[in-house]
A and B are shown apart, each in its own frame.
Chain A
């Protein structure tokens, strides 16, 4: 795409208002559905339009926090409004789309990814801030290691006809975020409305070809000036609004994680999620299943979700963000701080939708000013380079269970035949029996041709996994995430600390070390289990010792037949006189156990850079697209699940992040 400001050879053109119908006709001839603004139920909505008559003629809106009303605008003008509650994301990233279908016919199971809907669309009336929003979502959904295939298809096929703003609402703050009101790039055609028509420029070859087929004449100097004057008026109006002091905001905001204002805003916030759903950049989704009664066919669908819902950060047995203040903090810090770390832009483009459509009238500009007050000098600007889409993602693939081994009453190790890439130690897969949600499960052993998963029945999906027998089919995606840093452990002493099921991802590490034992120095494994009956991999501990790995065990509670140690796992260090010099530690277990262990390791002189943990978070996609697993600036699925404590910094063990 070339820049829209780069005018075609003959300069900007002029399209009379009466000829707008020709544009509609052309777009339709090209087989596109035209989406644009129209008045519905008292608001300007983005719906499919039949013709120019459907546009909101002579309409403007009054927008203030929590309040929106239509008013009379300049007579005859079709784009005198600004932005309503719907955004183009409804069309590029619809509320619900199919992800895939699981079919079961006797023992035969098939996972069929959905075919993306690529019916071509044309967007009429895209504002500068909204072009920026599309660019932000491009980065999120196409710019990572895995691209969203449905979004990619819709986005690529859409023709974008932008309109420059000549008015502004009181909730607009595009100038703060550097996204408007002037259209810079990302559009195929750019219109600027005058009283009797539009000054038009092409922003791409596709746009130029379209203009060549329309009754467009060269714009006069007066028309060009009038267009520029209209946009300048909009800039002046936005600049007079309250704004956001964007420069330096991420660090100011992250320094204010303990501000008392979070609790204050939580009193007003209804955790209703309206802000996130009207926001044109929010991308969080969940995957749900729908099946027929016999379970022969299950449709998995991706649905808009929000960090304000109660189950968003819930995991089996707990919730990382149970308090409303944690949820508001996630929203605000994500939009204005951690998004920058993750994607290189703000997550906010200054459209003001979340301000107007918050029923409690909470204004992000006001909250930011209170929580992270601006420094003196304010500079603006946000650069949005184009992104190259990553290859399309694969959905679940079938994997056959070739062996099962019951570890404890509720933990089973499944061996799956595996043709894919051999997972590294500490990587995980998304795995689920047909018809169930896929759960993140660590690979507890990997070799050519087979992987093992050790699963604790914590809820319905994991219970169904542990109940699978030889020959059953599991849907698997992976290997995913970043595993244990084996290279950091070479020629060093290694300490491994596991609590309960946390031994599963560490087993792959221990075996990787055992396989090349001479490349590591002293290796000590500390194991904690609730009771002797909950110990995992009991038959393998001898082999670890034989390989020169010291294994020490403890249980929280013991019966008479247990002769070993009793007490929580951190107490094992009390028996070790001193921890080995320069050691690297790998820890996995319940979050509280990891916090306690890290404290002890630090106290024994191991620096944060050499303490690694693997974290559990709610995961829906496993590839950085659904947003559920966020911890501050990290996506645990993609950037972790293994992290050093130094990387996590303050985020480790902080309540409500």
Chain B
């Protein structure tokens, strides 16, 4: 039986997610036995190797060229899976939508006119239909392996859409909200990372984006009641998954408050 063809391509992103595939050192040989890896490159470089049974897409769409490329890639992929916060929510670069794009570009690059970029950095799903998402910044190697294994075997991959809190409690960590008053976005964030930050005494930064029924107003209210400044709580949403709809409002408010007080803070 011919092995299914697996492609990995990237858009605007840091490569961290596709490197996760290489991090699966022990399993990499096994994966290569089960699938034929035909593409492992930047999406905008040579792209002749389609069609793909499974295409993993990293990064968000932030140039006009990328917006065209993803449509073509979708045509070549039987199953298209987005990997990472950039591809699934826009990523950290999506913070640009909250700012004046042209002014920002002018302040960063010596020759802004040479930089072709969109005023937005949008998730892949805004452009083409997506069959599955692997969240996270970066994605979790365990989830990637589970996804590949389940897909090969035809069963439903276990990518639970539940709060980070469940993994945190199963791990036996102490809740940083209740025991220390830390702001933590775990209750509204999808699980997948294994609740790493709370295990080290820090609040969750929502790398995996919103979970189903994310009660953002409820969490903001309780974090404030527990002693956090409203602006600090909101700013926490202005991170890796700020553009995700349930977070966007809080993120925008957080950035606005930061800009009003600190100036540069808004451009972290």
Contacts and interface: CB of A to CB of B under 8 A. Distances in A.
Contacts of B221: 268, 360
Interface in B162-183: 162-163, 165-166, 169-175, 177-181
B158 A292 contact: no
B146 A274 contact: no
Given A274-B175, A293-B30, A66 B170 contact: no
Nearest to A356: B178
Interface stretch (A26-34, A37-45, A414-422): A37-45
B154 A464 contact: yes
A531 B127 CA distance: 36
Interface of A: 40-43, 45, 66-69, 85-86, 90, 95-96, 267-274, 277-278, 288-295, 303-306, 309-311, 324, 356-361, 435-437, 459-461, 463-464
A574 to B, nearest CB: 41
Contacts of B175: 68, 85, 274, 357, 359
B162 A310 contact: yes
B18 to A, nearest CB: 19
Given A293-B27, A357-B178, A90 B172 contact: yes
Interface stretch (B64-72, B81-89, B90-98, B211-219): B211-219
B44 interface: no
A95 B170 contact: yes
Contacts of B225: 66, 361
B34 A311 contact: no
Secondary structure call for the B interface = helix
A291 to B, nearest CB: 6
22 contacts: A41-B173, A41-B179, A67-B178, A68-B178, A68-B179, A69-B179, A268-B221, A269-B215, A270-B163, A271-B215, A272-B187, A273-B165, A273-B166, A274-B175, A278-B169, A292-B30, A293-B148, A293-B152, A306-B166, A359-B165, A361-B225, A460-B154
Contacts of B218: 267-270, 360
A261 to B, nearest CB: 15
A95 B167 CA distance: 9
5 nearest A-B residue pairs (beta carbon)? A272-B187, A95-B170, A277-B169, A270-B187, A41-B174
Contacts of A358: 178
B190 to A, nearest CB: 10
A292 B178 contact: no
B155 A464 contact: yes
Given A293-B149, A311-B161, 17 more contacts: A45-B172, A45-B174, A85-B169, A271-B163, A272-B187, A273-B166, A277-B169, A289-B158, A293-B31, A295-B152, A304-B169, A309-B161, A310-B162, A359-B187, A437-B156, A460-B155, A460-B156
A272 B163 contact: yes
A291 B166 contact: no
Given A277-B170, A303-B170, A359-B175, A270 B215 contact: yes
B163 A86 contact: no
B222 A66 contact: yes
B222 A361 contact: yes
A278 B211 CA distance: 21
A274 B169 contact: yes
Contacts of B201: 41
Contacts of B30: 292-294
B160 interface: yes
A463 B154 CA distance: 9
For A69, A268, A274, A290, which residue has the most chain B Cβ atoms within 10 angstroms? Answer: A274
B59 interface: no
B178 A273 contact: no
Contacts of A272: 163, 165, 186-187
Contact of B172 (A86, A270, A289, A460): A86
A535 to B, nearest CB: 28
Nearest to A436: B155
